[in-house]
Amino acid sequence: MTCTEFLKILDDVLDESSIAVETRTEIEAHLRKCGHCEVVLNTTRKTIEIFQCHEIYEVPTEVSERLHVKIMERCKKAR
């Protein structure tokens, strides 16, 4: 398994119940030799855990609008 293949199935990896045994074995072998993908997996899991533990709150409309404008400006610059 390559890093690209791993990243393509990261959602499935996080939802462990949807992975075939053979694929799981390939993933485990890849993670044993690839520190980068191991960090990606662990960081993604930790991020999900943090967000699941916190309350959802509303962003003030003014902040949301300013953020939207800045994101759109950066997207236009990136083209």
The tokens of 68 are what? 């939207």
Q: Would the pTM count as exceeding 0.85?
A: no
SS (H, E, C) the chain: CCHHHHHHCHHHHHCHHHCCHHHHHHHHHHHHHCHHHHHHHHHHHHHHHHHHHCCCCCCCHHHHHHHHHHHHHHHHHHC
pLDDT for the residue numbered 31: 95
- Residue whose C-alpha is closest to residue 6's, from 21, 20, 27: 27
pLDDT in tens, the chain (79 residues): 999 999 999 998 888 777 888 999 999 999 999 999 999 999 999 999 888 877 777 889 999 999 999 999 988 887 6
Residue found by looking up tokens 């953020």 in the block: 67
